[in-house]
Structure 1
């Protein structure tokens, strides 16, 4: 016997449709958003600082990104990759800030970018140690295609592992490693370095 709704219409237990997924509670949304923020806050701030070259601006950019993400959080949780969706929000805020201030990325001038040199020197010590100026490397990294530049920065400056970078960029780890390898080859070419040894160990 079929149960009936308050209006008297029969309620079929099996009508061929999947039950609707319950909406997450406000408490659940708050907990997941706070957990995401705690995981990424420092690294997002570093990324924003690298591009703006100003701590106050970096805090402004990341605060704006998190405010937007907070408003969109229920939508973000329904995406195939929450990390990739959130990363796109941060990137948009960074690009918007640079456009509004008519300023190119500050990667070349940012003091924190020295970490990149240290990391790459460990991988290609003999070759990169011959550079007359670290600024040549900074400028070369800033001129890389966007994805290759992001991978180098996310890996060597911000400290994300390849799996985390893959989630942020919405690609697989093989693609991340490919971007890193191609980026290093382009850096070697731009800086006149023998590529035979710079590509080992990628």
Structure 2
């Protein structure tokens, strides 16, 4: 395989592995799915590497494979209906909850219960668009940089920042927080 394939592999492997582990609930199943995905990509690499939107196409294909694996296990491919979604939400929620909690306490002078807050955020995350959810998971739960998230999803860094900002504001508004105190925290 050419060096461009191995560079692509190095950039996407962790994202694919973590994203599929969250959804499948098993590191072994995730590794198997990711390795199979890269085998498939290797077979079509000569055509794929020259496409201008290769990142977006690969991300979409990868997500279809994750959904296919869930369906093969008899689970709903709709991540909002899986236990994996709850795990992803919990992982993504911690940095967001911290930000919302600090903002709420500064504005209102008291704290709200973590369970009440967490449940509100979980419900609000189920209403995010698929793109918003993916970006929140990649940026906040898996701690990928804006640049890497953009490369993984196949969109511009500015779009990642915009989608993330919109998602964070939607989450804050859905939970009844003022969006004025919500920091973007995306200074990369």
The TM-score normalised by the length of structure 1 is: 0.72
Greater Cα radius of gyration, structure 1 or 2: 1
* Partner deviation per Cα, 1:55-109 (whole Å, 9 max, x = no partner): 2322232122112111111111111144333222211211222233232423443
Give the conservation status (yes or no) of the 8 Å contact 2:59–2:154.
no
Q: Higher RCO, 1 or 2 (CA under 8 Å, sep at least 6)?
A: 2
Give the conservation status (yes or no) of the 8 Å contact 1:68–1:89.
no
Matched, 1:163 2:147: yes
RMSD: 2.6
In structure 2, distance between residues paired with 1:146 and 1:191: 19
Q: 1:136 to 1:62 in 2, by over 3 A?
A: farther
Q: Paired residue for 1:132?
A: 114
What's the CA shift for 1:179? 0.7
In structure 2, distance between residues paired with 1:123 and 1:184: 10
Q: 1:75 to 1:139 in 2, by over 3 A?
A: farther
Q: Paired residue for 1:116?
A: 92
Residue aligned with 2:160, SS: helix
Gaps of 5+ in 2: 105-110
Greater helix share, structure number: 2
Gaps of 5+ in 1: 1-28
Q: 1:170 to 1:109 in 2, by over 3 A?
A: closer
Give the conservation status (yes or no) of the 8 Å contact 1:166–1:176.
yes
